[in-house]
Amino acid sequence: MIDLTIYMLIPFFLSAILVIPLIWIARKLNFLDYPNERSSHKEPTPLLGGAAIVISFYFCLTYFSIRTGTGFHAPFIYFLPMVLFLLGLYDDFRKTTLDYKIKLFIEAILAIGFIQSGFVLILTQIIIVDKIITLIWVIGFINAFNLLDNMNGHSASVALIASGFMGIFFISHHLHDLVVLSLVLAGSIAGFLMFNFPRAKIFMGDAGSLFIGALISLVSIKFNNSIALELQSVPIFFTLCFLIIPFSDTLFVTISRLAAGNPIYVADQKHLSHQLVKKGFSPAFSVIILALVALIFASVPLFMLSFS
């Protein structure tokens, strides 16, 4: 168990340490998110938090890969998520949203790359159908975590719970490569989250949320397929339990915008977190409520599968 905690602790401390100089660098470069009518923050906030997550994740993943002999040298881990990080960083730096068609096109190309690397959901046993669903799945959750980044600590806390709980599952099933991947990601997010909630000192920006969304979509595919092979059934319910908040939030926002006759890519305050604030909860408490919901749902697969 000591070795397993190291997979989270080292990236946690490295990410937290990196945040401090990145705050200073972001202020010097004016790499800041300025408040607007949709913002929950009141003052310009540094936007380089995603870099702390990415640097910590890749450094620790490489270190543990060498130390334990796990093989994380494929493009689906080192190249494809990094492209999304750089895309988000460019978007953050421009301070204007990149055309959604261009962003979706790039995400689709990367998702196809993931699929060609062997990441295909086992659902229908019809390969072409499963590949199409996987394409939608990857693009969907890349954007779901991006959409979820609308309040301090929201996207990061949900991502931490999802990656951490999937990591616990992989531990119990002795899938060591995936244990390392999940826990290093969870630790890197946790170190950043210390400075992101409450009263955030730094944001992850699109760079961080797109990167996290890509990795968690990949880990969730591995989780889904592990259960499919073990139970000889379609386990999508279990997989969605880990992702219930980003899935529900994206579905709710999409339906709300379409019902109002608005384009689904135009930002607004129709997210679940915003609805809780409208009910009288503070932004911080709204994020805590949704994190608790995520925690409860993430516990369901672990509980049910332990008796299967």
* Predicted confidence pLDDT, tens digits, the chain (308 residues): 447 889 999 999 999 999 999 999 999 998 888 876 655 666 889 999 999 999 999 999 999 888 877 665 566 788 889 999 999 999 888 766 678 888 999 999 999 988 988 889 988 889 999 999 999 999 999 999 999 998 899 999 999 999 999 999 999 888 888 899 999 999 999 999 999 987 889 999 999 999 999 999 999 999 999 887 777 665 688 899 999 999 999 999 999 888 888 877 777 788 999 899 999 999 999 999 999 999 999 999 888 776 55
Q: What confidence score (pLDDT) does residue 43 get?
A: 81
Reported pTM: 0.92
Element (H, E) at 77: helix 75-78
CA distance 147 to 63: 32
In sequence order, the β-bridge partners of residue 116 are none
> Is 191 within 8 Å of 52 (Cβ atoms)?
yes
3 state DSSP class of 1: coil
The CB-side HSE value for 229 (13 A sphere, CA atoms) comes to 7
What are the CA-CA distances from residue 77 to residues 94, 110, 172, 181 (Å)? 26, 11, 23, 9
Q: Which two tokens stand for residue 161?
A: 């719970």
The domain spans of the chain are: 2-305
User: At residue 200, what are phi and psi to the nearest 5 degrees?
Assistant: -55, 135
Q: Report the Cα 277 to chain-centroid distance in Å.
A: 23
CA distances from 199 to 13, 16, 59, 92, 102 (A): 20, 16, 28, 20, 33
**Strand, coil or helix: 81:** helix
> Is-contact 75 83, C-beta < 8 A?
no
Query: Which pLDDT belongs to residue 1?
Result: 47
Nearest alpha-carbon partner for 166 in 240, 230, 116? 240
Hey, is 174 helix, strand or coil? coil
Residue 186 sits at the vertex; the CA angle it makes with 152 and 100, to the nearest 5 degrees, is 55
Instruction: Give the span between the Cα atoms of 134 and 123, in whole angstroms.
Output: 10
CA–CA separation, 294 and 159 (whole Å): 9
